[in-house]
Amino acid sequence: MPLQLNEAELDAFMHEVFDQVADDFQVERVTETELTVRLRVQHRHLRPGGTVSGPSMFALADVSAYLMTLARIGPKALAVTTNCSIDFMRKPRAGVDLIAQTRLLKLGRALSVSDVLLYSEGQADPVARASLTYSLPPA
């Protein structure tokens, strides 16, 4: 199964189904097994001290695994997250965007599994890691 949606098509689909948050995210690069997404950090993503909040990091990991899956199965809004395990490892740097690097580890008939590393832009060490399972709608 080759790539079904490119960067622009993934962005357009996000605006169609998640219009209220789609401007927060920018799809930067997609291949058959990898995806890069940027969180354009706004004031509403922050905690006191200027660091990105846990729920904003979760949201970035979740949307990344969703778009990675749709890039392969096509624009099926009904894929739903069934599990996420996330480790918060370092405090994100204030004043910079977050970059999510996603790998698709499995694309089965019923489930996809991805893992995601989150970085403060320009930093070498990840701020968080997550793995996510999506349940896929029947063909």
Residue 98 is classified by DSSP as E
Of 4-12, 34-42, 75-83, 94-102, the segment contacting a copy of itself by CB under 8 A is 75-83
Q: How far is the CB of 37 from a copy of itself (least distance, A)?
A: 14
Q: How far is the CB of 137 from a copy of itself (least distance, A)?
A: 11
Q: Is 47 in the site for a copy of itself (CB under 8 A)?
A: yes
Best CA proximity match to 96, nearest among 45, 137, 58, 41: 41
Best CA proximity match to 38, nearest among 129, 121, 116, 103: 121
Q: Is 81 in the site for a copy of itself (CB under 8 A)?
A: yes
Number of helices followed by number of strands (H, E) in the chain: 3, 6
- In the Cβ-directed half-sphere of 21, how many Cα atoms lie within 13 Å? 13
The owner of tokens 């997404």 is 37
Q: Is 94 in the site for a copy of itself (CB under 8 A)?
A: no
Residues that bind a copy of itself (CB under 8 A): 17-18, 20, 44, 47-48, 54-56, 58-59, 62, 77, 80-90, 105-106, 108, 110-111, 113, 115, 117, 125-126, 129, 131, 133, 135
